[in-house]
Structure 1
Amino acid sequence: MSKTSVKISMISPPGDVVAPERFSTSDQPSGVPQVFLDARLVRVKVFCDEQKCPLEEEIDDDDQRSWHWVAYLPDSSGTDVPVSVLRMVPFPHEPHPNGYSDPDEEPYFKIGRVATLASARGKGISRKLSEEAFGWLATHQSELPSGWKGLVLSHAQVDVEQMYEKLGFVTDVKLGRWDEVGIEHLAMWKRLPTLEAHN
């Protein structure tokens, strides 16, 4: 795979056009950005079809207020096909899964819904996509909620902890481990070097 064959698209928070109730039927909602539909396709294939997570939990209220990234690879006909996705959810957030809540906790973005199709794994696409998202956040603070100083949280599946470590994340032991739809998760943090930090 050549490095130039991967294409990445991003959309800003799409609003209530992607509200969960709009995806409750088999009819395709109108007005939904194609990038979000591509992200949903990958997410359903990985989380629902492969990992057996409930379909009704895949689209949630955070989708409306999140930034979404999708990586594409060309198929045999040269058509770009979505293969890897992630989203960045802005603060505020609910208490951590273990119940920990600190009213003075620094505002953070939460990286989530990170998924890559089985056929595209092992090619560094998820890492490239993550670095693209991190770079965009770090250089577009004027478009983000004020008060963010570069902190990012991942609620990572335990079996990809080492992947996140390679991206610079550090496991937070105090937040423990917990079960989400039958899959063990843990919390990991990363600090991005923002433009604000250099001013």
Structure 2
Amino acid sequence: MNNIEVSVRVGDWQAFKADAMPIREAVFVVEQGVPLDEEVDEMDELCLHAVAYDGQNNAVATGRLLPDGHIGRMAVHLHARKQHVGSAVLSALVSEARKRGHPLAILHAQVHATNFYVRHGFIAEGGEFLEADIPHVKMTMRLDPVA
């Protein structure tokens, strides 16, 4: 499968809600059965959001960076998976965490996605736990300060 060209933009919830929510609903609510009221939370307003757009300016992936350096809500549209789109979003969020001076990037990875995060330098810590009835594992990556 060929990689699709994407551009990743970052900003606040007001700027990206209209593009990020349809992706999150498709992936988390429809595909994975997470109740909408668990998917949407008050943290969205406080987070930095990243959205990847394809060559036709269609939003194809999203993720968010919480104020404490946690990365979450990583979601890629089904048709854009396995094309390095998620990698582009993750890289943008890690870069932003580094710029903000966070010593660690932390995330709760769905167990089936741990290899994706390992390939990007994250290390699993501890055992599995459930979030929204889906097995997860805590993963971290040490961030070197921006010179």
Does residue 58 (structure 1) correspond to residue 39 (structure 2)? The answer is yes
1:167 alignment partner in structure 2: 120
Structure number with higher relative contact order (C-alpha < 8 Å, ≥ 6 residues apart): 2
2:67 alignment partner in structure 1: 90
Normalization by structure 2: what TM-score? 0.91
- How far residue 2 of structure 1 moved from its aligned partner, in angstroms, is 6.1
* Paired residues of 1:6 and 1:72 also in contact (CA < 8 A): yes
Question: Residues 27-66 of structure 1 correspond to what in structure 2 (within 5 A)?
Answer: 32-33=14-15, 35-66=16-47
Instruction: Give unpaired runs (5+ residues) of structure 2.
Output: none
- How far residue 137 of structure 1 moved from its aligned partner, in angstroms, is 3.0
2:134 alignment partner in structure 1: 183
Q: Deviations for 1:28-49, whole angstroms, at most 9, x for unmatched residues? A: xxxx42x222111100010001
Instruction: Return structure 1 stretches of 4+ with deviation > 4 angstroms.
Output: none
Tell me the SS of whatever aligns to 1:160.
helix
* Paired residues of 2:3 and 2:83 also in contact (CA < 8 A): no
Residues 179, 149 of structure 1: alpha-carbon distance in 2 compared, 3 angstrom cutoff: closer
Instruction: Give unpaired runs (5+ residues) of structure 1.
Output: 15-31, 92-108, 142-147
Normalization by structure 1: what TM-score? 0.68
Residues 90, 122 of structure 1: alpha-carbon distance in 2 compared, 3 angstrom cutoff: same
Aligned pair count?
A: 146
Distance in 2, matches of 1:138 and 1:119, equals 30
Q: Deviations for 1:96-149, whole angstroms, at most 9, x for unmatched residues? A: xxxxxxxxxxxxx1110000011000101101111122223323x3xxxxxx44
Residues 86, 66 of structure 1: alpha-carbon distance in 2 compared, 3 angstrom cutoff: same
* Paired residues of 2:38 and 2:132 also in contact (CA < 8 A): no
2:143 alignment partner in structure 1: 192
Question: Residues 36-185 of structure 1 correspond to what in structure 2 (within 5 A)?
Answer: 36-74=17-55, 78=56, 80-91=57-68, 109-139=69-99, 141=100, 148-173=101-126, 176-185=127-136
Distance in 2, matches of 1:136 and 1:37, equals 21
- How far residue 187 of structure 1 moved from its aligned partner, in angstroms, is 0.3
State which structure, 1 or 2, has the greater radius of gyration over its C-alpha atoms.
1
User: Letter of the aligned partner of 2:10 in structure 1?
Assistant: M
* Paired residues of 2:125 and 2:139 also in contact (CA < 8 A): yes
* Paired residues of 1:88 and 1:110 also in contact (CA < 8 A): yes
User: Letter of the aligned partner of 1:7 in structure 2?
Assistant: S
User: Letter of the aligned partner of 1:73 in structure 2?
Assistant: D
Higher percent of residues as strand: 2
